[in-house]
Structure 1
């Protein structure tokens, strides 16, 4: 498929074109993260975020390609991975007293997260609970929730986590978690 055909199909909401892109450029995009001190899971997340950004821009009609789709996706992945490395660097440079993560404070943080998760829709609540607390992989979650495929489950998990992050950030400050 040509890039123009892919873009046209995605703009019309054809998810098969998105699946095609995912498979076609998966190795190239994930290798970018893997070769720059990332894990396979981080690489998948970065690529998933890049595809989501591409898809949102394409369906909005605001995407004008001035390069190949692969180049566009690569630049999104690169920028997202740089941001993630920067975030990791900042976190590693902060000193956090390990005792603060014990006992009562940890229980309070857990309660805050669980309260916010419970306010999300049923699907989000189930996805996040299955993934973060039950340790299920995306394939199992897709099967349990009758999603079309694992990619659908990944996209939904990403959106749910964004909602959860926004909800927590709107209600609590960093000091609520790191006194």
Structure 2
């Protein structure tokens, strides 16, 4: 993952899973060798395990359980896979249809916002910037303007969701 960790986390939170897909494509063969050596899993089973583990990781990011990107994503994902195997969690447990639909709808509405609103909401909700820092990043004259912009953007998103 060549993007900065905060940017990767932000992209995951808004539904962009490209970094996880890239990680999967780069790591699947190495992961399969590790899983075969340590747990005697065949390559297709190891690939399913890696896919499910990455989906669990994505869910943790999307729902706020994971607030900081791990410095070593590979070690983190391997640890999650070990926990799945130890707990005998079945593979391919999809999200409930209602939750998957809700996430897709929210992402579609977020993408309809202007670039400035997307940036303001990303800075505030996903990067945790306070209004002063957000105002500086966006070029606003002070924190009050940043607060008002955030409020306006959130109102726009809420209206789109109706």
**TM-score where L is the length of structure 1:** 0.43
* Structure with bigger RCO (C-alpha 8 Å, 6+ apart): 2
**TM-score where L is the length of structure 2:** 0.47
